[in-house]
Amino acid sequence: MHPNIIRLTDVLEVSGLLVLIMEFVEGMSLKQMVRRDGPFEVELAYTIISQVCLGLDAAHRVGVIHRDVKPQNILITKVYGVKIVDLGLARHLGGKSISQTGIIMGTPDYMSPEQVRGKSVEARSDIYSLGVVMYEMFTGKLPFTGSTSVAILLAHLRQPPESPMRVRPDLPPWISYMILKAMAKRASQRFSKTTELLNYFEKSMAEAKLEKKTGKRDTKRAKEKVAPAPEVKSSLQDRRASRKKLRVASTVLVASIVILTIVAVIALQTQLESSRRVQAIISSAEEHEKQRNYQEAYDVYIDGTRELPGSIPLYLRAGLAYIQYLSQQHPLSLVLSLLAILVLLLTPLFLIQRRLRR
């Protein structure tokens, strides 16, 4: 049994219930510690995270993943020793996955994207959850919040976390990079093992101490640490590509409207100039319009369209006459109908513009 994993001393059955007896840990949970002390300093955070990494690595090496890594399941002793508890959701990697049934297991605030999807998970799922724990340790807040558990789960799936350096400006860039890499949406972009994360932590912390002592800075290494994690880069590229597609679609839509308008005007002018019969029908209908008898005018235009089925001006004037007739007989219904049509036309354009402003 690893010293950073809670020791199970006995298993009993009491009144049909399974009772687990574990060692007593005098101290508090990491969650209580975060709430009490606020954001952690690097040295203390390393003391705790290093032990969590070693404990999880011991479980991963024998094929067991935790599935519910969170501050509530990390107990801290009075001398800052770590005990990882609540392995109730853990399973052997070679066994049957509970996720095959489509059941989502874990805590929403710390759940990896693959857990949210109900897929089989591996050790890197625990690394994602550990990344969320580190985010909370260093910033004092969770990367994703929402009014419901579903909103939080969707954020884990789709939303890139805010850079820890924005939440806490004094945070070293390499810590921000380490957290974001651990929290990459794609498992392949995270640290492959908890020991790899720990090695990065130790090496970066040693380099930071050396830089502070000597005043010399490794420029190449510093640029690597300032760079966003792979998943953040991918997310930004996807957003730029999406905005570019929206701009192209908006441009094509506007161009199509302009072209159709020009064609309609040309066709209208051609029809007006080429058909004397059309002019005669219009003149006859206008006599009724002058007397505000729009129903008769509409009938004249409709009769004209039967005689000249390709006449665009007659169709347009028939429509106008019918609108005028409706405005006389049913003005309120006409206004409401026009407002509904206006809303239907403006809604897609509003949605496109809103997406472009994001």
Q: How far apart are CA 213 and CA 6, in angstroms?
A: 39
Which of 327 and 137 is assigned the larger pLDDT? Answer: 137
- Is residue 285 exposed (0-12), middle (13-18) or buried (19+ Cβ within 10 Å)? buried
Q: Using an 8 Å Cβ cutoff, are 74 and 29 in contact? A: yes
Give the Cα separation of 111 and 106 in Å (integer): 6
Domain boundaries, the chain: 8-228, 239-357
> Comparing C-alpha atoms, which of 103, 230, 229, 127 is closest to residue 176?
229
pLDDT the model gives residue 92: 42
Mean of pLDDT values over 320-335: 73
Average model confidence (pLDDT) across the chain: 83
More confident residue, 97 or 250: 250
Q: Are 143 and 161 in contact (CB under 8 A)?
A: yes
For 247, phi then psi, to 5°, come to -65, -45
pLDDT score of 102: 46
Q: Which of 94-103, 115-124, 171-180, 267-276 comes out lowest in average pLDDT?
A: 94-103
What's the rounded mean pLDDT across residues 104-129? 89
Distance in angstroms (rounded) separating the CA atoms of residues 80 and 110: 23
- Calpha distance 104→205 (Å, rounded): 36
Residue of 68, 170, 218, 299 marked active site: 68
**Distance, CA of 81 to CA of 50 (rounded, Å):** 10
- Hey, what amino acid is at 245? K
Minimal CA–CA distance to 68: which of 107, 31, 100, 28? 107
Residues 6 or more apart in contact with residue 29 via CB below 8 angstroms: 71, 72, 73, 74, 75, 76
More confident residue, 241 or 128: 128
Q: Determine what percent of the chain is predicted with pLDDT higher than 90.
A: 44
Q: Which residues are registered as beta bridge partners of 76? A: 28, 82
What number of CA atoms fall less than 13 Å from residue 25's CA on the CB side? 24
Instruction: Catalogue the E-assigned strands of the chain.
Output: 8-14, 17-22, 27-29, 64-65, 74-77, 82-84, 91-92
pLDDT per position as a tens digit, 240-287: 777 788 888 888 888 888 888 887 776 666 555 556 677 788 888 788
Distances, alpha carbon 107 to alpha carbons 71, 90, 91, in Å: 11, 13, 16
Residue carrying structure tokens 């206006």: 342
Does 332 or 351 have the greater pLDDT score?
Answer: 351
Task: Determine the pLDDT at residue 133.
Answer: 97
Q: How confident is the model at residue 334 (pLDDT cuts 50, 70, 90)?
A: low
Q: What percent of the chain has pLDDT over 70?
A: 81
Dist CA 256 CA 233 (whole Å): 35
Looking only at the bridges linking them, the beta strands covering 64-65 and 17-22 are unpaired
Q: What residues contact 179, with CB distance under 8 A and at least 6 apart?
A: 131, 134, 135, 138, 164
At residue 165, does pLDDT exceed 70? Answer: yes
Could you write out the DSSP letters of every residue in 25-39?
--EEEHHHHHHHH-S
CATH number (1.10.510.10, 1.20.1440.230, 3.40.50.300, 2.60.40.10) of 8-228 reads 1.10.510.10
Question: CB atoms < 10 A from the CB of 290, how many?
Answer: 9
CA-based angle 125:131:132, to the nearest 5? 100
Q: What is the pLDDT of residue 95?
A: 43
pLDDT on residue 99? 40
Residue 219: is its pLDDT beyond 70? no
pLDDT at 90: 55
Instruction: Based on the residue annotation, tell me whether 68 is a catalytic residue of this protein.
Output: yes
Whether residue 166 contacts residue 28, with contact meaning beta carbons closer than 8 Å, is answered with: no
